[in-house]
């Protein structure tokens, strides 16, 4: 009986740690991309269901491009999907989530090489 209680306690503790370490990307995010001495500002609208992210990103809420992504713990990978005839600042980005902030690097798109990206939750 004591062994069973100990096992259940350890299991609950392990699940709590796993859940606490998982990213929560759902929401409206202010986006800042920095590359080659230039800074681009924008907005991302994200929805997370399990380990999948859907949403959009753009210069404002009216000019958005679809995106999707995957969450693994506090690591997030996003891939943009430009609308026909349009381009995007980046093709993919790798982010590390830390509460209401995500930061990392981008690749591809109009920026070409790598750029720094930061998303800060906008609690409007």
Domain span holding position 61: 23-121
User: Bridge-partner residues for 118, per DSSP?
Assistant: 32, 103
Residue 4 lies in a domain: no
Residue 12 lies in a domain: no
Per-residue pLDDT 10s for the chain (124 aa) are: 554 443 334 333 333 333 345 789 999 999 999 998 899 999 999 999 999 999 999 999 999 999 999 999 999 999 999 989 999 999 999 999 999 999 999 999 988 789 999 999 998 6
Residue 11 lies in a domain: no
Q: Could you tell me the pTM of the whole model?
A: 0.80
Are the CB atoms for 48 and 25 separated by under 8 Å? Answer: yes
Report the CATH number that the domain containing residue 35 is assigned in CATH.
Answer: 2.40.128.120
**CA 121 to CA 124: how far, in whole Å?**
9
Count: domains in the chain: 1
The CA angle 29-35-40, to the nearest 5 degrees, is 40
Query: How many Cβ atoms sit within 10 Å of the Cβ of residue 64?
Result: 17
The torsion angles phi and psi of 16, rounded to 5 degrees, stand at: -65, -40
């Amino acid at each position: 009986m004591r062994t069973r209680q100990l096992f259940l306690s350890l299991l609950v503790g392990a699940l709590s740690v796993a859940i606490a370490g998982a990213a929560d990307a759902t929401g409206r995010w202010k986006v800042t991309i920095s590359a080659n001495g230039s800074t681009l500002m924008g907005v991302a609208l994200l929805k997370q269901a399990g380990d999948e992210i859907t949403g959009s990103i753009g210069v404002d809420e009216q000019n958005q491009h679809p995106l999707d992504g995957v969450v693994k713990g506090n690591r997030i990978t996003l891939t943009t999907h430009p609308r026909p005839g349009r381009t995007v600042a980046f093709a993919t980005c790798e982010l590390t989530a830390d509460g209401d902030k995500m930061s990392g690097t981008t690749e591809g798109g109009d920026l070409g090489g790598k750029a720094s990206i930061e998303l800060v939750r906008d609690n409007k």
